Amino acid sequence: MKKAYVALLHLYPSSHRALFAPEMSLVFERAAEEHRGRGRLAFLRFAVAEFLGILFGAGREWFVTCTRPSAREQALRAAAEQSGLPYEVVRAQQQTDLCVKHMVNAIASHDFTKARFFSEAERRSRENLRALRQKYNIAE
């Protein structure tokens, strides 16, 4: 029974397995021991619930793993939390900074077409930032 359970744990993403597989096996073993003493039907019900729990749990973990925000978004969210500013504002601020950085680089390499492009992008980004600051009532 435990072997089947441990084999089913391989359905989980490796990140979840690395964190919880030993604990899960141990808890399953203790719970199985307890239910074995309650009769065949109770044990069967327990086993079905456990295996279904693994199937649904693994499915959910894969869904979360596949839809998790990117590292950049996580960093932006952390920055927003730290500064106390709304996420949208922090994202717009970073977008503006990036445009400025690209514009400066383009000017430094005498690529004025690119510089004009980023200058225009920066203007739009700054307008967006201004609108967001107004929306959230944040001073410049």
Partner 1 sequence: MRHVTAQPEPAEAKPLTEPVLLILLSLAGKPRHGYALIKDTELLSDGRVRLSTGTLYGAIHRLLDDGWIERFEQEDTSREKQAYRLAPAGRKRLQLELDRMKQLTRAASARLRTREV
For partner 1, what does the binding mask look like between residues 80 and 99, x meaning CB under 8 A? ----xxx--x----------
Q: Does 76 bind partner 1 (CB under 8 A)?
A: no
Quote the CA–CA distance of 30 and 25 in Å, as a whole number.
Answer: 9
Q: Does 129 bind partner 1 (CB under 8 A)?
A: no
Closest CA to 34 of 22, 45, 19: 45
Query: 63-87: b or e for each residue (b if 16 or more CB lie within 10 Å)?
Result: eeeeeeeeeeeeebeeebeeeebee
Q: Does 78 bind partner 1 (CB under 8 A)?
A: no
Q: Does 62 bind partner 1 (CB under 8 A)?
A: no
Quote the CA–CA distance of 109 and 67 in Å, as a whole number.
Answer: 39
Q: Does 117 bind partner 1 (CB under 8 A)?
A: no
Size of the site for partner 1 (CB under 8 A): 32
| Closer residue to partner 1, CB minimum distance, 64 or 104 | 64
Quote the CA–CA distance of 77 and 86 in Å, as a whole number.
Answer: 9
Q: Which two tokens stand for residue 89?
A: 């504002």
Restricted to residues 26-55, the positions that interact with partner 1 (CB under 8 A) are 26-28, 30-31, 49-50, 52-55
Residues lying near partner 1 in the complex (CB under 8 A)? 16, 19-20, 22-28, 30-31, 49-50, 52-58, 60-61, 64, 84-86, 89, 136-139
